[in-house]
Amino acid sequence: MGREESIQFATKYLGDMLTFFGVNLDIKASVEEDVIELSVASSSVNSILIGQRAETLRSIQYIVSSALRHQGAELTRVNVDIADYKAQRAERVAEQANEWIAQVRKTGDTHVASLNPADRRIVHRVAAEYDDIMTFSEGEGHDRKIIIAQKSS
């Protein structure tokens, strides 16, 4: 299954999955860096589709990705965003990262934060904009943390 077929399959698969929640929503699809980006419009079931701490959203994303792998698709990485939840979350995490970086620059102390993998990637990306700041992750699984430090440390 080629790139276009992968996108079409993922879009239809997600649409079919959403019908089980009793909604027929518009899904916008695009590809960024070999990741299929699926954006679902806001609806009355947002909270159900997103779930507590976005667990349901991540599960939906995993199921779509697994279905693509099972089909032998060229593109198997999927990012599902419902009602711009992830985009808004990324903005909040980026703002928090800038605050942490400002504190590290001011005090010289390192900052350690327990974040999920997606949020850690956002912090790494924000920190990359600063020449005097470095970030790295330590730990395994749920105990993995991101460390923000000055490069001179």
Coil, helix or strand at residue 21? coil
**Backbone region of residue 106 per phi and psi (left: phi > 0; alpha: psi in -120 to 50; beta: other values):** alpha
Does the pTM of the predicted model rise above 0.75? no
Please give the pLDDT value at position 65. 93
Tell whether the model's pLDDT for residue 116 goes beyond 70: yes
For domain 3-83, the question of CATH label 3.10.450.50 is answered with no
* 88-150 has the same fold as 3-83: no
- Indicate the average pLDDT of the chain: 88
Point out the least confidently predicted range of 1-5, 121-125, 132-136: 1-5
C-alpha to C-alpha distance for 38 and 31, rounded to whole angstroms: 9
Please give the pLDDT value at position 31. 87
Average pLDDT (64-88) is 89
Domain range annotation of the chain: 3-83, 88-150
> Per the CATH hierarchy, to which homologous superfamily does domain 88-150 belong?
R3H-like domain (3.30.1370.50)
C-alpha to C-alpha distance for 76 and 61, rounded to whole angstroms: 11
Q: 46 or 95, which is more confident?
A: 95
Tell whether the model's pLDDT for residue 140 goes beyond 60: yes
C-alpha to C-alpha distance for 16 and 19, rounded to whole angstroms: 5
83 close to 43: Cβ distance less than 8 angstroms:
yes
Residue 131: CA count within 13 A, CB half-sphere: 0
Q: Which residue reads 């699809």 in tokens?
A: 29
Please give the pLDDT value at position 77. 87
Predicted confidence (pLDDT) per residue in 78-92, tens digit: 989 988 898 898 999
Q: Which two tokens stand for residue 113?
A: 């934060």
Tell whether the model's pLDDT for residue 153 goes beyond 60: no
Please give the pLDDT value at position 19. 87
Predicted confidence (pLDDT) per residue in 21-40, tens digit: 888 778 899 888 888 999 88
